[in-house]
Amino acid sequence: MKVLFIGGTGIISSACSQLAVERGIRLYLLNRGQSSRPVPKEAELLHADIRDVAAVRQVLDHESFDSVVNWINFTPDHIERDLNLFRDRTAQYIFISSASAYQTPPQSLPVTESTPLSNPFWEYSRAKIACEERLMRAYSEEQYPVTIVRPSHTYDCTVIPMHGGFTVVDRMRRGKKVIVHGDGSSLWVLTHHCDFARGFIGFIR
């Protein structure tokens, strides 16, 4: 398969890039080339800022892809740009949303695909919900080939997924107490990026 990752070198996406090439995917990475994380040597690099539409069109030229994954879309205007950029260029467009888009606090547990999308506490989550709504409208109106993925809190070796960083790890190792915010009733899932990658690559078709 021929796949384009927009980004591809972030906390979540870097493991997906590595696993994609290991699985034999012909991977293109479109980004600004500024990440400190390593890039798989098998990947083909396309240097452009996705926010610069003219530059992206020039870099992509007449290329088309089996799948396009945008790791760095956060607002509906980003989605609108991608709808125009990749219409007729891909058989699948994957949007990386967020598990924080699910109803917060949830009225029932466990949270499932049927849980409503609503988060009055975080603008980031509300923007992701708006992105999803625009994409689903594109699917309904023009059969735009959308797949939506909602990762939870994902981490790698560069970012410890807790306030206090390695101090918290040190306390755990010494059997000392660790301060937890809130009243302990907030349920949240931590996912190592390699574990996420194993699940994610199966979405690409």
**In a domain? residue 174:** no
**In a domain? residue 149:** yes
Task: Convert the pLDDT of each residue in 80-133 to its tens digit.
Answer: 999 999 999 999 999 999 999 999 988 998 899 999 999 999 999 999 999 999
Report yes or no: 128 and 97 within 8 Å, Cβ to Cβ: yes
CA pair distance 102, 92, nearest whole angstrom:
24
Instruction: Output the CA angle 68-9-78, nearest 5 degrees.
Output: 50
**In a domain? residue 89:** yes
Q: How many domains does the chain have?
A: 1
Report yes or no: 168 and 160 within 8 Å, Cβ to Cβ: yes
**In a domain? residue 173:** no
CA pair distance 176, 58, nearest whole angstrom:
56
pTM reported for the whole predicted model: 0.91
Task: Convert the pLDDT of each residue in 66-80 to its tens digit.
Answer: 999 999 999 999 999
Structure tokens at 145: 């080939």
Structure tokens at 147: 């797949």
**In a domain? residue 97:** yes
The stretch 175-179 carries a mean pLDDT of 91
**In a domain? residue 17:** yes
As a whole number of angstroms, the longest Cα–Cα distance in the chain is 58
Structure tokens at 86: 């990749």
By residue range, what is the domain housing residue 86? Answer: 2-163+190-203
Could you check whether the bond before residue 151 is cis, i.e. omega within 30 degrees of 0? Answer: no
Task: Convert the pLDDT of each residue in 123-176 to its tens digit.
Answer: 999 999 999 999 999 999 999 999 999 999 999 988 888 878 889 889 999 999
Q: The CATH number of the domain where 48 resides is what?
A: 3.40.50.720
**In a domain? residue 119:** yes
